Chains A and B, each alone.
Chain A
Amino acid sequence: MASSPKTSASTTSAPASSATTSSASSFRQRPWVRWGAPLLLVVGLAVLPLVMTEGANDTLARIGVFAVAVLGLNVVMGYTGQVSLGQIFFLGLGAYVTAYGVQSGWNIVLVFVLTCLIPAVAGLLVALAAARLGGLAIAMVTIALPIVGVPLAKRLSDFTGGSQGLSARFVEAPEGSGLYDDQWQLYLVLVIGGIVFLMTSLLVRGKYGRAFAIVKGNENVASSMGISPYRYKVLAFTIASLIGGVSGFLYMVVVQYTSPETMSFGHSIELLVAMVIGGAGSIVGSLLGGAFYVIVPDVTNAIDPSLTALLQGALLLAVLFVLPGGLVSLPRALTRRLRRSPAGRGSAAPPTTPSSTPGSGTAAEQSETERQGHA
């Protein structure tokens, strides 16, 4: 589970080392496919809001909101390996900043900037303290964010409207565009969310992404390479908080109302469940996670609302047991199984070749080598 960034199906993707898929990957690498597919996707997303029903637009927009929130969680947890149970707090914080700014009549660009900055600074402060403890302490500290956040939001009623919450309608389709509000909202989510996804996928594939992966893999190795685990954990957490803030802005775009309940402990857990089920450390997995977060409660509410948590818990455990890579790894897991079953006997794992080179010590016996000096 090291660095290898799973790329979105629309862009390049080369399933490593497999003769059977080489034709598929070369197909994907042809220039017109490489550039055509994303273009097609963009055009498709541009047209979609115009042709879907209002309900579908709303659902898709909410999926976009939570996909961004899950993406933020993925930066700190999926890519850097630090369990965070507080991501929803930054969504809530972003939503409050947006709502308060809009109600105060501030310029919307300023509101957006503050919606990025304030959660980022809050996240930075939390991470500076929590990351000092190392290990699972980040999980143990971040679990407090939603639990302290809810009563805090109720208390600071001058800013938050207390238990009543705040509403802010600030996204109306521009006059003359001919768009309905739901279409305009979805466009905003697609554009802002798309930019966040693009920037994040560049981030995790670049220099910082490699550093995150090394910190996730082994902190001692990271230190020996001059990569400070502490600094990169703080950085990842801060970025995750910033992205959480953006998702809060989008939340206000779509839902137009927030209350302390938005950042409840239950929702924080649901966000984590969604991330793992979608696929940890994966851009596409974040999209699937957003979809999971929105669709599962919608479905269970239709049947029996009290089933939601039970189902989420069961699905999470099931995924951890049978599909640790999350839904995003499902196609690969399936093709592997399909390929194995017919040719199973023929291409069974070859017997491990005996090592003929003398003194080929195993890792386990390597210690002997080191200690033998003074024997």
Chain B
Amino acid sequence: MTLLELEGVTASYGPVQVLDGVSLSVPEEGAVGILGANGAGKTTTLRAISGTVRAGGRITFDGKDIRGMRPDQVAALGIAHVPEGRGTLGDLTVRDNLRVGAYLRKDRKGVDQDIDYCLDLFPNLQERITSNASALSGGEQQMLAVGRAIMSKPRLMLLDEASLGLAPSTAKNVYDAIRRLRIESGIAMVVVEQNANLAFTLVDSATVLETGRNALTGTSAELRGMDEIRRAYLGG
């Protein structure tokens, strides 16, 4: 059963066309990676899904056309965007950031449980729970950003460069936690990642974007085996 479907999605910033017909299909509980060089349109694809950039083509979520919706409407349908640069709310405490993530939920008990779940998933946040988000390290902020997304009980999470600017060991920790989250919660994911090695630890399949188009699509195993992928993205 397909959860998210993109067909021929286009988008441009002013005169510059960034997406030129991107297609993507994410099954329920699946995880799909988006790989590619700078400016290939990876981030823009996520923005098109979450409604932060005006897009053409077809974007459906759970059979519903979501193209042209506002970001908060998209979020209300169960899509949580963890943006590039993390987007944590600097002047709010860690706990308040998590509570903002649960804004649309009415079940107080469930919210408290999920806060505990986030702290269990990311033990680093436990000790910083009353600090302002701006005081956290880069890795902790990334964890908080994912945690905030978890709090909205999404069906689909959009992860943009979760390893960016992190030390390799920290990046691995973050991805380990996200993998655990995926297994335990069944949240479907679209994962944009520069570090393809890291991405392949999480996703089942991936698509490679080149200048706003799908250049290659395959399962993780297939793509890993290809020489060109290896050379371009796996550092070998």
Touching chains A and B, CB distance < 8 Å: yes
Interface presence of B38 (CB below 8 A): yes
Q: How far is the CA of A361 from the CA of B38 in the complex (A)?
A: 7
> A364-B13, A364-B44 are known contacts. Are A375 and B38 too (CB-CB below 8 A)?
no
Enumerate chain B residues within 8 angstroms of A353, measured Cβ to Cβ: 15, 17
Nearest CB in chain A: distance from B219 CB, A: 24
Q: Find chain B residues with CB under 8 A from A352 CB.
A: 12, 15-17
In chain B between 4 and 30, which residues have their CB closer than 8 angstroms to a CB of chain A?
12-13, 15-18, 20
Is B114 among interface residues, defined by CB-CB distance under 8 A? no
Q: Are the CB atoms of A354 and B164 closer together than 8 Å?
A: no
Q: Which of B37, B40, B194, B212 contacts A354 (CB 8 A)?
A: B212
Minimum CB–CB distance for B71 against chain A, Å? 15
The answer to whether the Cβ of A355 comes within 8 Å of any Cβ in the partner chain is yes
Complex CA–CA separation, A361 to B41 (angstroms): 8
Give the distance in Å from the alpha carbon of A368 to the alpha carbon of B210 in the complex: 15
Task: Kindly list chain A residues whose C-beta atoms are within 8 Å of the C-beta of B210.
Answer: 358
Give CA–CA (A358, B41) in the complex, Å: 11
Report yes or no: A359 in contact with B38, Cβ–Cβ below 8 A. Answer: yes
- The answer to whether A355 and B16 touch across the interface, beta carbons within 8 angstroms, is yes
Beyond A369-B39, A371-B164, A371-B165, whether A363 also contacts B13 by CB under 8 A is: yes
Cβ of B195 within 8 Å of any chain A Cβ, yes or no, is yes
Let me know if A359 and B37 touch, CB within 8 A. yes
Q: Is there a chain B Cβ closer than 8 Å to A18's Cβ?
A: no
CA distance A360 to B38 in the complex (A): 9
From A360, A365, A375, give the contact of B194 (CB < 8 A): A375
Identity of the chain A residue whose Cβ is nearest the Cβ of B41 in the assembled complex: A365
Q: Write out the residue numbers on chain B whose beta carbons fall within 8 Å of the beta carbon of A369.
A: 38-39
Residue of A nearest to B18 (CB): A362
Whether A358 touches B12, Cβ cut-off 8 Å, given contacts A365-B18, A368-B43, A371-B165, is no
Q: Is B211 an interface residue (CB 8 A)?
A: yes
A372 at the interface (CB under 8 A from B): yes
B44 to A365, Cβ gap below 8 A? yes
Rounded to whole angstroms, the CA-CA distance of A364 and B40 in the bound complex is: 12
A364 to B41, CA, bound (A): 10
Using CB atoms, name the residue of chain A closest to B10. A354
Inter-chain contact B13/A355, CB cutoff 8 Å = no
Are B38 and A355 in contact, CB atoms less than 8 angstroms apart?
Answer: no
Q: Is residue A374 contacting chain B, with contact meaning CB distance below 8 A?
A: yes
Question: Nearest A residue to B16 by beta-carbon distance?
Answer: A362
CB closest residue in chain B, given A358:
B211
Chain B residues with Cβ under 8 A from A363's Cβ?
13
What's the least CB distance linking B161 to chain A, in Å? 8
Nearest Cβ in chain A — how far from B18, in angstroms? 5
* Chain A residues whose C-beta falls within 8 Å of the C-beta of B164 in the assembled complex: 371, 375
Interface presence of A356 (CB below 8 A): yes
CB closest chain-A residue, reference B39: A361
Q: How far is the CA of A353 from the CA of B18 in the complex (A)?
A: 10
Contacts of A366 in B (CB 8 A): 39
Given the known interface contacts A352-B17, A371-B164, the answer about A359 and B195 at a Cβ–Cβ threshold of 8 Å is no
Q: Give the chain B neighbours of A356 by CB distance below 8 A.
A: 211
B39 CB to nearest A CB, Å: 3
Q: Which residues of A contact B165 (CB under 8 A)?
A: 371, 374
Q: How far is the CA of A353 from the CA of B12 in the complex (A)?
A: 10
Per the bound structure, the CA–CA distance linking A355 and B211 in Å amounts to 8
Q: Which residue of B lies closest to A361 (CB)?
A: B39
Question: Quick one: CB contact mask for B26-64 with A, threshold 8 Å, 1 for yes?
Answer: 000000000001111101100000000000000000000
Contacts of A367 in B (CB 8 A): 84
- State whether B39 touches A365 (Cβ < 8 A): yes
Which B residues lie within 8 Å of A372 (CB)?
38, 194
Distance (whole angstroms) from the CB of B54 to the closest CB of chain A: 12
Closest A residue to B37 using CB positions? A359
**A353–B43 Cα gap in the complex (Å)?**
20
B17 lies within 8 A of A355 (CB): yes
Q: Is A362 touching B13 in the complex (CB atoms < 8 A)? A: yes
For window 135-188 of B, CB contacts with A under 8 Å fall at 161, 163-165
A278 to chain B minimum Cβ distance, whole angstroms, is 31
Partner of B195, one of A357, A360, A375: A375
Q: How far is the CB of B119 from chain A (nearest CB, A)?
A: 29
For A365, the chain B residues whose CB sits under 8 A away are: 18, 38-39, 41, 43-44
Q: Is A359 a contact partner of B39 (Cβ separation < 8 A)?
A: yes
Q: Are A354 and B38 in contact (CB under 8 A)?
A: no
Once bound together, how far apart are the Cα atoms of A264 and B232, in whole Å?
70
B39 touches A354 (CB 8 A): no
A362-B39 in contact given A352-B17, A353-B17 (Cβ < 8 Å): yes
Q: How far is the CB of B30 from chain A (nearest CB, A)?
A: 25
Q: Are A368 and B39 in contact (CB under 8 A)?
A: yes
Q: What residues on B are CB-neighbors of A375 within 8 Å?
A: 163-164, 194-195
Q: How would residues 64 to 89 of chain B score, 1 for a CB under 8 Å from any chain A CB and 0 otherwise?
A: 00000000000000000000100000
Give the distance to chain B from A125, nearest Cβ to Cβ, in Å.
37
- Which residues of A are in contact with B by a Cβ distance under 8 Å? 352-369, 371-372, 374-375
- Nearest 3 Cβ contacts at the A-B interface: A361-B39, A362-B13, A368-B38
- 13 A/B residue pairs, CB under 8 Å, sorted by A: A352-B17, A355-B16, A355-B17, A355-B212, A360-B39, A361-B39, A362-B44, A364-B44, A367-B84, A368-B161, A369-B38, A371-B164, A372-B38
18 more A-B residue pairs beyond the given contacts A364-B44, A368-B84, with a C-beta to C-beta distance below 8 A: A352-B12, A353-B15, A354-B212, A355-B17, A359-B40, A362-B16, A362-B39, A363-B13, A364-B13, A365-B18, A365-B41, A367-B84, A368-B194, A369-B39, A371-B164, A372-B38, A372-B194, A375-B194
